[in-house]
Chains A and B, each alone.
Chain A
Amino acid sequence: MSMPSDGRRYQGAFGNGRTAVTTPVDVRLTSHGLEIRAEGERQARLWPYAELQSSVPLLVDDKDVLLSRAPGGLETLFVADATFPRALLARTPALSPARRRWQGVRPGLALVAAVAVIAGGIWALDVSPPQTVARMMPQQVRETLGRNVVTSLAGQYRACDGAAGRAALDRLTQRLSTAAAANAVPVQVMLLDWGLINAFAAPGGQIILTRGLVQQAGSADEVAAVLAHEMGHAIELHPETGLVRVIGLTAAAQLILAGSSGTLSNIGVILTQLRYTRIAEREADTHALRLLKGAGISPKGFGDFFERLEGRRPAAQQGKGITDYEVIRTHPLTAERLAMIRAQPAYPATPALSPEDWRALREACGAPRPPAPAPAAPSGDATASPTPAPTPGKQSPQAEQDIAEATRTLANNPKDVAALQKRAGAYARRSQHDLALLDYAKAIELKPDDAALHYGRGLALQNLRRHEDAISAYDEVLRLAPAHANARNGRGNVNRTLRRWDAALQDFEELIRTRPDYIHARYNRAMVLREADRLQEALGAFSETMARDKDYTAALTGRGLTHEKMGAREAAIADFRAALAMPAKYNNGAWAHRVARERLKALGAK
């Protein structure tokens, strides 16, 4: 460091480090170091450049400098001259910030390297430290931990302890646990009176299901699938592992971002956790499918449940709106997960619960509080059911009230057939056909010879697409009351759905003969003929229907469809236009309008 002395004298203040007083001095930058000379002193001090210290890293645009002499020198020199720092820095670059900052960066880079090596090792050896810790925990510790988690998450919710529901849930749990066989872990399933649609697994095999989940599920199979999924988490010790991981990550984040704002470290912990969540969900799904298969429960409910959450509606639940549900999707649904479930090969399966158990489970928290949304009447084309007009409205306060009243009556007298029938009818109006079915079944047990009850049961079964059962129910109605037109019409429609054309035609023709005024029989017969490709006869049948009732909208649409199938474009267009020109009559009128509009568009007609 030999730079010629610049010859300039700077004025400074020198402190001797013994008392808090400074004296004025002359300072020169020489080739060896700083030369400091006090007024009247003959001997100048020389501070070598290599020994200079500044408590603040020196910048070229600093206006003054405070120096002392290493190591630990107490003497100070303050030079308040804006040209001095630049001149000094040229001779002692070590006073610049770079060196001091590097001292802090160096251990940091060592840490980064160490973390990279450890992370690489964990990845290469495929070990999970949190899972190892979780496996080492004694079961008792897991359970205490789980209880605390459950208390903090859902402590305010009451457990649903309806004895029958409890027993049903236990049976289902037992069935799935048996299927887990070798991997079985002790589980404890709780049903909480909580409207949220959710389920979660806490440490120690404690699984929470909510009332919302059970009551909004479309079937017991769906609940079984969710339960199997949560048991999959329990088998893999996911809750314990997650807890250990969060504690570990938080500690690490605290260590790394020492004393800084918590926000940053929290974001990091959450992001890391998310990655593991996705992996864990896949593992739990795999277990769930295995458990369901072992227990002989169809995996279809699993897919249905996810589709329900996603807002897509499985065919069997069409019309059941779910967009209003409050859903916390802790489990992000991916097409991949659904595909895995749907790809399961079919195997022999029985329902997860008997109808009675399923009902008991749904009522374990008291009378069900079903969702507001809306039943749709059986779609017009499929049934043309002439049952007393079930107004396909959004909400039916009347049904609501009927259910409440009937439930009250039944609380006093569970054997009140009229109340059961009333409630079943109300359920049917809200498209809750499974609940309607249960009430009808109970009523029939009490009063086996009531044709109206059998008819209601048949209609419910038909809506649930349990076709063979529906036919048996209608058979029973017609045995008890051979002139029951609606039952015969219903049976014809089921046979039509099953493409048993002859059986269907037989019912409709019998109906036309005995009840010439029953207009729907003529329409349905025409529809059968069209579907059976007996197109000429179908045309005749539609015209005959309209000869009896010129406002039967669906008959016009039906004839239009027949014309279209025969290649008579102009005639088809005329029929569809005519259908749209009239009001939608009967409960298949809306269908008639919709189809007519669609076909006109397809045919390129305005």
Chain B
Amino acid sequence: MPADAAASPSPSRAAPSITWVDPPRGFLGLSLLNGALRILTLGVYHFWGKTEVRQRIWAAIRLDGEPLEYRGTGAELLRGFLIVFFLILLPLGLAGLVASLLLSTSNTSRGAYELAAWSLLFLLSGLGIHRARRYRLSRTRWRGIRAGLSGGSAPFAWTYLWTMLLVPLTFGWILPWRTVRLQKALMSETCFGDKTFTFTGRAGPLYKRFWLVWVSAIILFIIAAALIGVALSLDMAHGLPTFNRPSAGRIAAIAGIVFGGLLIFAMIRAWYTTRVLNYFAEETRFDGARFRLAVRVGSFVWLTASNYLIRVLSLGFLSPIAEARAMRYIVERLTVEGDIAWGQVGQNPDLLLKSGEGLAEAFNVDAF
């Protein structure tokens, strides 16, 4: 980037550009260093490592050529984790242990306990998603102006819980509606400085693709079941049914059918998910600008699959690389249309949030 591009006077009204600038040393060395230090410190360094990764990812995102800033610290993340561990996870774990001691396996009280436990878990997940997003936004700055999330976590967590409980009751048909509802709750409370984003998405357009996902899931299940049945009946054709020990070839065939089915389903789902992402961007507005995201199925599936392999094959040590790739993927496909009057975006007077994102850490929820 030429030096004068950033130094030129920023025009008061112009369509902003969003770009990605790789850090000079990439993420591989940082990942390995973080892993080594984490082992050396019995895991404590995790929070500092994670913070440095975020600092570099944020700094790689350039708005009008100037970087975002991540101002969180490792100590904040550690504090959040400790709070959640001792106030929530440990009591919950002990309660679970006591329940397993006192309640026998086939018991109505056991069922009630399970339902309560899962509900609590969903509630806490919702809480964690909201608080993690609030923490990250509150630690995000651009040109010294802070971002934030204005609403409370409890209403969001409640919405998260009851819509989750409706998923099995509606055979999954509530999913697009739920996604829109949660996105709206988050986006319409997201602010940069003293200006808030607006989200005008509706569930209707998503159902145009969702129904196919739903139907294909059922059809694929039926086809796979039929194919497996054929594979097994071939076995029976040679004499007695031998369900106990099907041959290795047969097991491979069944595994292949299941894997193929899942792969086709993953492609169809990706076709839906990319639509969700692009649609959500399109329906998001900030000041006079709206967003355009051009995510395509093929590249999206490749990103998801390769990131999964990177995480799994490196036992999680290279997940910073996967995080950076995911962010870069979005940033490089995101454009802004229309103008933003930067001169009228002022500082948000809200106080800094004090605790870290413990709940998200504990429930392994990555809301970004």
Q: Choose one: A56, A105, A256; the contact of B56 (CB below 8 Å).
A: A56
- Complex: how many Å from CA A23 to CA B9? 5
Assuming the contacts A11-B3, A19-B344, A259-B46, asked whether A103 and B75 have C-beta atoms less than 8 A apart, the reply is: yes
Taking a contact as CB atoms under 8 Å apart, the answer to whether A15 and B37 are in contact is no
Given contacts A19-B345, A55-B70, A258-B85, 19 further A-B pairs with CB under 8 A are: A13-B7, A20-B342, A21-B10, A24-B8, A55-B141, A57-B55, A62-B23, A62-B24, A104-B37, A104-B45, A105-B45, A112-B40, A148-B100, A148-B105, A251-B93, A258-B81, A260-B316, A261-B311, A264-B315
In chain A between 1 and 45, which residues have their CB closer than 8 angstroms to a CB of chain B?
10-13, 15-25
Interface centre among A12, A68, A104, A264 (most CB of B within 10 A): A104
Taking a contact as CB atoms under 8 Å apart, the answer to whether A76 and B45 are in contact is no
The residues of B that contact A100 with a CB separation of less than 8 Å are 48, 52
Query: 19 A-B contacts, Cβ less than 8 Å apart?
Result: A13-B66, A17-B144, A19-B145, A19-B343, A21-B143, A21-B342, A57-B55, A59-B24, A66-B67, A76-B143, A78-B66, A78-B67, A100-B52, A105-B48, A108-B43, A109-B40, A111-B44, A148-B101, A260-B316
Across the A-B interface, the 6 shortest Cβ-Cβ residue pairs: A108-B41, A104-B48, A108-B44, A261-B316, A256-B43, A17-B144
The residues of A that contact B58 with a CB separation of less than 8 Å are 55
The residues of A that contact B45 with a CB separation of less than 8 Å are 104-105, 108
Taking a contact as CB atoms under 8 Å apart, the answer to whether B40 and A108 are in contact is yes
The residues of A that contact B342 with a CB separation of less than 8 Å are 19-21
Q: Is B223 an interface residue (CB 8 A)?
A: no
Taking a contact as CB atoms under 8 Å apart, the answer to whether A63 and B69 are in contact is no
Residues 141-168 of chain A, each 1 if its beta carbon lies under 8 Å from chain B, else 0? 1001101100100000000000000000
Taking a contact as CB atoms under 8 Å apart, the answer to whether A104 and B104 are in contact is no
Q: Choose one: A63, A108, A109; the contact of B1 (CB below 8 Å).
A: A63
The residues of B that contact A258 with a CB separation of less than 8 Å are 43, 46-47, 81, 85, 361
- Complex: how many Å from CA A84 to CA B240? 80
Q: Choose one: A64, A103, A115; the contact of B6 (CB below 8 Å).
A: A64
Tell me the A residues contacting B by CB distance below 8 Å: 10-13, 15-25, 55-57, 59, 61-64, 66, 68, 73-76, 78, 80-81, 97, 100-101, 103-105, 107-109, 111-112, 115, 141, 144-145, 147-148, 151, 247, 251, 254-261, 263-264
Tell me the B residues contacting A by CB distance below 8 Å: 1-10, 12, 21, 23-25, 37-38, 40-49, 52, 55-56, 58-59, 65-67, 69-71, 74-75, 78, 81, 85, 89-90, 93, 97, 100-102, 104-105, 141-145, 192-193, 311, 315-316, 342-347, 361-362, 364
Taking a contact as CB atoms under 8 Å apart, the answer to whether A108 and B42 are in contact is yes
The residues of B that contact A18 with a CB separation of less than 8 Å are 346-347
The residues of A that contact B364 with a CB separation of less than 8 Å are 259
Taking a contact as CB atoms under 8 Å apart, the answer to whether A80 and B3 are in contact is yes
Taking a contact as CB atoms under 8 Å apart, the answer to whether B70 and A76 are in contact is no
- Complex: how many Å from CA A20 to CA B195? 11
A388 to chain B, nearest CB (A): 34
A-B contact number at CB 8 A: 188
- Complex: how many Å from CA A20 to CA B143? 6
- Complex: how many Å from CA A256 to CA B59? 29
Assuming the contacts A100-B52, A258-B43, asked whether A11 and B347 have C-beta atoms less than 8 A apart, the reply is: no
Q: With CB as the reference atom, state the residue of chain B lying closest to A152.
A: B105
Q: Choose one: A15, A78, A112, A145; the contact of B42 (CB below 8 Å).
A: A112
- Complex: how many Å from CA A10 to CA B90? 54
Assuming the contacts A55-B59, A55-B70, A80-B65, asked whether A103 and B25 have C-beta atoms less than 8 A apart, the reply is: no
Q: With CB as the reference atom, state the residue of chain B lying closest to A110.
A: B44
Q: Choose one: B5, B41, B75, B347; the contact of A111 (CB below 8 Å).
A: B41
Q: With CB as the reference atom, state the residue of chain A lying closest to B346.
A: A19
Taking a contact as CB atoms under 8 Å apart, the answer to whether A255 and B12 are in contact is no
Q: Choose one: B41, B59, B102; the contact of A109 (CB below 8 Å).
A: B41
- Complex: how many Å from CA A80 to CA B315? 37
Taking a contact as CB atoms under 8 Å apart, the answer to whether A101 and B37 are in contact is yes
A524 to chain B, nearest CB (A): 47
Taking a contact as CB atoms under 8 Å apart, the answer to whether A20 and B142 are in contact is yes
Taking a contact as CB atoms under 8 Å apart, the answer to whether B315 and A20 are in contact is no
Taking a contact as CB atoms under 8 Å apart, the answer to whether A66 and B3 are in contact is no
- Complex: how many Å from CA A144 to CA B100? 8
B306 to chain A, nearest CB (A): 17
Assuming the contacts A13-B10, A105-B37, A111-B41, asked whether A80 and B345 have C-beta atoms less than 8 A apart, the reply is: no
Taking a contact as CB atoms under 8 Å apart, the answer to whether A21 and B343 are in contact is yes
The residues of B that contact A24 with a CB separation of less than 8 Å are 7-9
Q: Choose one: A13, A104, A259; the contact of B362 (CB below 8 Å).
A: A259
- Complex: how many Å from CA A568 to CA B105? 79
- Complex: how many Å from CA A134 to CA B117? 26
The residues of B that contact A10 with a CB separation of less than 8 Å are 3
The residues of A that contact B93 with a CB separation of less than 8 Å are 251
Taking a contact as CB atoms under 8 Å apart, the answer to whether B43 and A20 are in contact is no
Taking a contact as CB atoms under 8 Å apart, the answer to whether A66 and B59 are in contact is yes
Taking a contact as CB atoms under 8 Å apart, the answer to whether B40 and A105 are in contact is yes
